[in-house]
Amino acid sequence: MAWFKQLMFGIGVIVTLDVGSLPACASSSRPYDVVEQFAEVLSVIEEGYVEPPARDQLSEGAIVGMVGALDPHSAYMPPDQYEDFRQDTSGKFAGIGVEVDLRNGQVVVVSPIAGSPAEIAGLTAGDRILAVDGIPLETLPLTDIVHRMRGVKGTTVRLVIRRQGKPNALTLNVVRDDVKLPSIYARYFDGRIAYVRITAFQEGTHDELLLKMGALKSHLGACRGIILDLRQNPGGLVTESIAVADEFLAKGALFSTRHRGRVIEQVYTTGYGYFERTPLVTIVDSGTASAAEIVAGALKDRKRSVLVGNRTFGKGTVQSIIDLPGGAGLRLTSLRYYTPAGFGIQASGILPNQVIVSEQEQASDILRESDLPGHLPSEGNATTDLHGEPSAPANDREGQPCEVPKPLISLTQRMSQLPSAPINGTDAALTFAYRSLLQQIQ
């Protein structure tokens, strides 16, 4: 019986782990030396520390340090963090449903999600949120601000906002409700090429893809080609990425996982994909990670799609999620991902067939897996094309490297601003993908 039952991802990936099927680790001559050392240190602290310490706090700190010493993606999660983690992987949570951004130290509403409590309460793009439940926001990080707006379904959060054109601050009482973030944005270019952006692989992404592509087809007819945009996609539920990849690939290998050099699971596509014969070009960048890299790597390895953009993030490990007593959780790196051709994604990433580096990526320090302290080493080659294919920067008409603009914070807004034909826009990667598809279908 295969132990691999489910793959998911939060910023890492979640799997159900059957520990008994993994190889037993080598034991030292005295396996309890470390336990004795821990007990000795604990005893010294309890007897000699300047103030009486709390034993539960000490033990939790020891666990945090022990797991954190492994790699950047292994972590002990206390109950509150574990609950947030579970909500993030589902893409569904109780909140007000609003996209916000920090601009010049102010929390600005980018866009309320359609049909969300925020939209119903009257929050609009451009509003500045000054306080949440009486707490000023100017000194809080964005993650804390978002966390304060989430809460129990049915409870009320009081927002103090400043709106342009209004002399006084406004107070809005917003009742929290379940909020489902969309993960698929789809539209047609010139009525013949579908543009599909997947922002993350969360619960329902595969169904959402089929629904939105079906809606496009019912209004505009069948598409002649597809641009699959995986830029800034941090991954998500691997079960959903498998289902999405299955729609684009014929029957064959999708990826494999290995534990300490031994193949644990080989995952295949079924060959019943709805779009497996439709011409396809895929866009990736340095923010394409984990489950999204699985899809990109398979599409390239099996020569199903030309990859356009920048080398991907390089998160090629699987995290097992283990429930602990008291509502806590353990995220433990347990496997490595490999593409169908057997190349390791970890710390190497996937290099596109056609490299197009954005202006922002050229001007700033890009953070990839290989930059994280304590990351697991690469088993591939991050500096050359992993598949032995020539890869050179795409050039514009003046012979300079193409520049891809940084995506807008609001994807809804970004989609509405796309021209009817990318050739008329400024997104070089999208323009290249569009031209490539035109050559395939003409």
Mean pLDDT, the chain, rounded, equals 81
Q: Which of 128, 150, 180 is the last residue of a domain?
A: 180
In the residue annotation, 84 being an active-site residue is answered as no
At residue 412, the pLDDT reads 55
What average pLDDT does the segment 120-129 reach?
89
Q: Label residues 224-250 b or e (16+ Cβ within 10 Å = b).
A: bbbbbbbbbbbbbbbbbbbbbbbbbbe
Together in a domain, 201 and 239: yes
Together in a domain, 175 and 241: no
In the residue annotation, 301 being an active-site residue is answered as yes
* CATH value at residue 198: 3.90.226.10
Together in a domain, 314 and 414: yes
* CATH value at residue 120: 2.30.42.10
Together in a domain, 233 and 278: yes
Q: What type of residue is 187?
A: R
Together in a domain, 160 and 200: no
Please report which confidence band the pLDDT of residue 106 belongs to, taking 50, 70 and 90 as the band edges.
confident
Choose the most confident range, by mean pLDDT, from 188-192, 203-207, 294-298, 368-372.
Answer: 294-298
Together in a domain, 117 and 222: no
Among candidate residues 71, 74, 315, 427, the one labeled active-site is: 315
Distance from CA of residue 174 to its chain's centroid?
28
| Residue 382 clears pLDDT 50, i.e. is over it | no
Together in a domain, 433 and 418: yes
At residue 364, the pLDDT reads 64
Q: Which of 180, 203, 235 is the last residue of a domain?
A: 180
pLDDT digits (tens, 9 = 90+) for 131-190: 999 988 887 777 788 788 888 889 999 999 999 888 999 999 999 998 777 899 999 888
| Residue 1 clears pLDDT 50, i.e. is over it | no
Asked if residue 326 belongs to a domain, the reply is no
Among candidate residues 71, 229, 301, 427, the one labeled active-site is: 301
At residue 5, the pLDDT reads 30
In the residue annotation, 166 being an active-site residue is answered as no
Asked if residue 11 belongs to a domain, the reply is no
**β-pairing verdict for 128-132 and 156-162:** antiparallel
Please report which confidence band the pLDDT of residue 420 belongs to, taking 50, 70 and 90 as the band edges.
confident
Domain limits at 216? 184-319+333-441
The three-state (H, E, C) secondary structure of 397-430, written as one string:
CCCCECCCCCCCCCHHHHHHHCCCCHHHCCCHHH
Asked if residue 64 belongs to a domain, the reply is no
Q: What is the distance between the alpha carbons of residues 74 and 67, in angstroms, rounded to a whole number? A: 6
Please report which confidence band the pLDDT of residue 97 belongs to, taking 50, 70 and 90 as the band edges.
confident
Together in a domain, 174 and 195: no
What's the structural domain count of the chain? 2
Q: Which of 131, 159, 180 is the last residue of a domain?
A: 180
Together in a domain, 269 and 136: no
Together in a domain, 136 and 244: no
* Cβ-based neighbour number of residue 338 at 10 Å: 24
Among candidate residues 111, 183, 286, 290, the one labeled active-site is: 290
